[in-house]
Chain A
Amino acid sequence: MWRYIVRRLLQTIPVILGATLLIYALVFLQPGDPIVALFGEKPVSEAARAQLEAQYNLDKPFIVQWLLFLKGALVGDFGTSYSGQPVSDLIARSLPVTFQLAFMAMIIEAILGVVAGFYAGLRRGHIFDSTMLVVSLVVIAIPIFVLGFALQLIFGVQLQWVPPTVGSATTFTNLLLPAVVLGLVSFAYVLRLTRTSVIENLTADHVRTARAHGVPDGVVNRRHVLRNSLIPVVTFLGADLGALMAGAVVTEGIFNINGIGNLAYQAILRGENPTVVSVVTIMVLIYVVASLLVDLLYAALDPRIRYA
């Protein structure tokens, strides 16, 4: 078990090396001059340009830039943004916001998705099931940025139930609508996956045998159908973390949330290598650790799976 965890954590090293190198190459290839972007419309003097290039290592080949970044990252120095703030400060400020948002979205998609999927599966073909299937189809078909703007317009601008943008006031109620938007697409997938899984498990031999032993229907459904149906759902949720983080970039943009997605988006626009790469590194780390946790949870749910 511990050997497995250590091995999995060691695997993150090449993943992070590869991911950061890839990002460095992509940012390097990106058209536009970051220094021009930094100065906006104002003219840049040659001296200032040379000084900035030296300060941010822009005069060196990208491989060297990458190696210098790795050297810094090893001792916890992720460099400074072009506005002069340490990147670690920026991340420390925006990460908790995104965590809160993603956590809320995860709760919404997991709990609502499983509950709705479970009941839809138990009442296959009934009105609730049909409604849920249509709703999930609609949600899956509409892109997240359309959905986000539409809900923002309805609930934020017209009904004014929630503020249309969040800004720096990241309270639970303010984040509720963005979290719903972020979790909605995955909610539809979780619902469908749970429903299919429940329908399959309802006809399992051991479920029939449990009924034959006199176990009441409610207990059979909870203990034997639901738990067995959760296994594929948990796997999906693990893989879905990536989608959640990608979705955070769009959602945070729509609702103006100062989270890590927004930070990455702004940094990409400005061509700020240190910030972009640091954010990606953090995201990769979170993703790897989270999928490890999901795999361990998987083993806890299914005793047939043991890691060695």
Chain B
Amino acid sequence: MTQPLLEVSDLHIDFSVDKRSVNAVRGLNMTIYPGQTVAIVGESGSGKSTTAHAIIDLLPGTGKVTQGSIRYEGTDLVKLPARKRRGYRGSHIGLVPQDPLSNLNPLYKVGAQIREVLEVNNVAKGKAADARVVELLEEAGLPDAKRRAQQYPHEFSGGMRQRALIAAGLAARPKLLIADEPTSALDVTVQKQILDHLDDLTSELGVAVLLITHDLGLAAERADHLVVMYKGEVVESGPALAILQDPQHPYSKRLINAAPSLQSERVSAQERTAIRRAAQEHVSEETEVDVETPAMQIQSLTKVFKLPGKGFSKTDLIAAQQVSFDLARGTTTALVGESGSGKSTVARMVLGLETPTEGHVYFDGVDISTITSRDQQLKFRRRIQPVFQNPYASLDPMFSIYEAIEEPLVVHQVGSKTEREERVRTLLDQVSLPHTVMNRYPNELSGGQRQRVAIARALALNPEVLVLDEAVSALDVLVQDQILQLLNDLQVELGLSYLFITHDLAVVRQIADDVLVMQGGRVVEQADANSIFNNPQEPYTQKLLAAIPGRDIPLAG
């Protein structure tokens, strides 16, 4: 029988907060055999990253292993002195970190950072190291590696940076590679390429992989063995397919139900039709507007940015070209595309924050470029509101939750102080947040709660249209599912129309009626959601669909 490469038994990790200790991980057991891929799945705060950091002795702050052992090839790493443990990092256990943007030092050339790994682990020095760096970058799938090695991280795209980090993580040929959410900051198509490449590379080199992810679909697709963590404990572990098809623990079941990539399309499509019907009913019954006229009409929108070129000349960047669509009342139109596809530019033009180079945006039949008086502009602003991607950055940290939600009402001089307070309470009810959060500040809330606050803030002025720019992309699957539910409920309740912008086709099915697929500023395919998912016409749409992790895995029931 083969020896396990890594054997973690009864691992306890504590953090001390204000002199009290908090258990982050309790009694974790896990075994990784040589060449095997094991995935730890869980939401943020489940202890999955903490476990990974404990293995390489890089627990942040006050974190400490209080009990248990981490055996690497039979040696208990916990008992080793810090200096000896360092010897295992890089050369035996490699790391591919989560955010490719913040994990490369911005001040050094990419090649120099990989060379550093080679040098400190005594793999190669000097000229030989430089040559090896180029080989490693090529191996990680980076084209034109020789020139790229001489560039700085900010000259790389996200996917290229992640390839560089994979090259660095594998540079000293470790036997175990810890991949901590290696692709959650990347577009789906890039994510697929990177993971495919990582798969090939690790199986070729015989490297075992410990994959940390919140995405069950992705874990099931990539790993042989799953470990599901919840609040610091392992709730279930076993072969990936067995867990997916026959989950035992309620939490695993919830995860599977919430994963957009794994959701049954039949159910979504039916639910969607019911939601749309209810929302449109609301519009025709409760408001005076005609449900048949679209809330917004977008006609051949084009945006050209002038970029400084060589010398005094300017080059044109076509961010969006001839984009047209109607947003029907009580429905959701999704704009899908990778970064740089122009979807956010379109959203900004729809919001009136950017002037189109060509084309028109009609809101309720009125061309928004003709709205010039301040009074009319304020009225327009009330009727269309944005919700942005990053709930951490879009709320002012110095504003209490109450102030954040009240602010639009104050700006637009709506109601008296008591009426506004009443309105804030109603809004908190609508987004299912307790009234007690009113006196708290954004840093005291979780990502999902913050996004609820952002939605409440957007709803404060009773808008008709919400522009949701990657509004759920930064959230864990379970929270993402809850927010999508909330958006659907609000649509029914208030008859809202949504323009939903995302790079992730998987979530589109849960919320969208119509879909526009964008690539390089152009709309490549435009159809209703069912056609896009069941009968995609364009190769690019097919590619996006194929990139959804775990899509081909058969589920039980």
Contacts and interface: CB of A to CB of B under 8 A. Distances in A.
Contacts of A228: 105-107
A297 B108 CA distance: 16
Interface stretch (B95-103, B296-304, B481-489): B95-103
Contact of A212 (B56, B99, B113): B56
A214 B103 contact: no
Given A205-B99, A303-B152, A304-B154, A214 B105 contact: no
Interface in A201-221: 203-217, 219
A212 B165 CA distance: 12
Contacts of A59: none
A224 interface: yes
Contact of B105 (A212, A219, A224): A224
A143 to B, nearest CB: 33
Interface string B98-124: 010011111111000100110011000
Contacts, number: 82
Contacts of A215: 90, 116-117, 120
A304 B113 CA distance: 16
Given A212-B97, A219-B120, A304-B106, A203 B60 contact: yes
A214 B102 contact: no
A214 B87 contact: yes
A21 B106 CA distance: 44
Contacts of A209: 95, 97, 103-104, 165, 168
Nearest to A205: B102
B45 to A, nearest CB: 18
B58 A304 contact: no
A210 B102 CA distance: 12
Nearest to B97: A209
Given A205-B97, A308-B308, A212 B89 contact: yes
A214 B60 contact: no
Interface size class of A (residues with CB under 8 A): 20 to 34
Nearest to B114: A213
Contact of A213 (B102, B106, B117): B117
A176 B89 CA distance: 48
A89 interface: no
B152 A304 contact: yes
Nearest to A3: B311
Contacts of B87: 214
Contacts of A207: 105
A214 B58 contact: no
Nearest to B95: A212
Interface in B162-200: 165, 168-169, 171-172
B91 interface: yes
Given A219-B120, A227-B107, A301-B107, A214 B99 contact: no
Given A209-B97, A215-B116, A303 B102 contact: no
A53 interface: no
A302 interface: yes
B86 interface: yes
Interface string A268-308: 00000000000000000000000000000000011110001
A168 B113 CA distance: 53
B168 A206 contact: no
Contact of A214 (B97, B104, B109, B117): B117
Name, among B91, B107, B108, B120, the residue most crowded by chain A CB atoms within 10 Å (CB to CB). B107
Contacts of B97: 205, 208-209, 212
Contact of B120 (A203, A213, A227, A302): A213
Given A205-B102, A208-B58, A303-B106, A213 B89 contact: yes
A306 B60 CA distance: 34
Contacts of B105: 206-207, 210, 224, 228
Interface string B8-22: 000000000000000
A138 B16 CA distance: 33
Contacts of B56: 212
Contacts of A227: 107
Contacts of B108: 223
A202 to B, nearest CB: 10
Nearest to A231: B107
Given A303-B154, A304-B154, A212 B90 contact: yes
Contacts of A303: 106-107, 109, 152, 154
A302 B117 contact: no
B195 to A, nearest CB: 19
Nearest to B168: A213
A212 B106 contact: no
Nearest to A227: B107
Nearest first, the 9 A-B pairs at minimum CB distance are: A214-B90, A212-B95, A205-B102, A214-B89, A213-B90, A213-B117, A303-B152, A209-B103, A206-B105
Given A205-B103, A214-B86, 9 more contacts: A204-B102, A206-B103, A207-B105, A209-B97, A210-B113, A212-B95, A212-B97, A213-B171, A228-B105
Interface of B: 56, 58, 60, 86-87, 89-91, 94-95, 97, 99, 102-109, 113, 116-117, 120-121, 152, 154, 165, 168-169, 171-172, 308
7 contacts: A205-B102, A208-B97, A210-B116, A212-B97, A214-B121, A227-B107, A308-B308
